[in-house]
Amino acid sequence: MKELPDYFVQVPEALALVEEGVYRCSGVLSNEQIKYLDTLHLKTVLILSVEGPSRAFS
């Protein structure tokens, strides 16, 4: 994975690899954390929360 400067992205605290191609994360994500998720080239993000997704996911 390509290294990016800390000021550009932030790894979500509870992000973990479940199995190849499947990650899990908890908590509300900041814009910087969403930028990090973009570097993973995920096809789908499933949000299990009573709160709506951040506008950064738009």
Q: What are the domain boundaries of the chain?
A: 1-49
pLDDT at 4 over 60: no
Half-sphere exposure at residue 57, Cβ-oriented, CA atoms within 13 angstroms: 11
pTM: 0.66
Residue 29 burial class via C-beta count within 10 angstroms: exposed 0-12, middle 13-18, buried 19 and up: buried
Residue 39 is given by DSSP the state H
Q: What is the pLDDT of residues 5-43, one digit of tens each?
A: 656 678 888 889 899 888 888 878 888 888 888 888 888
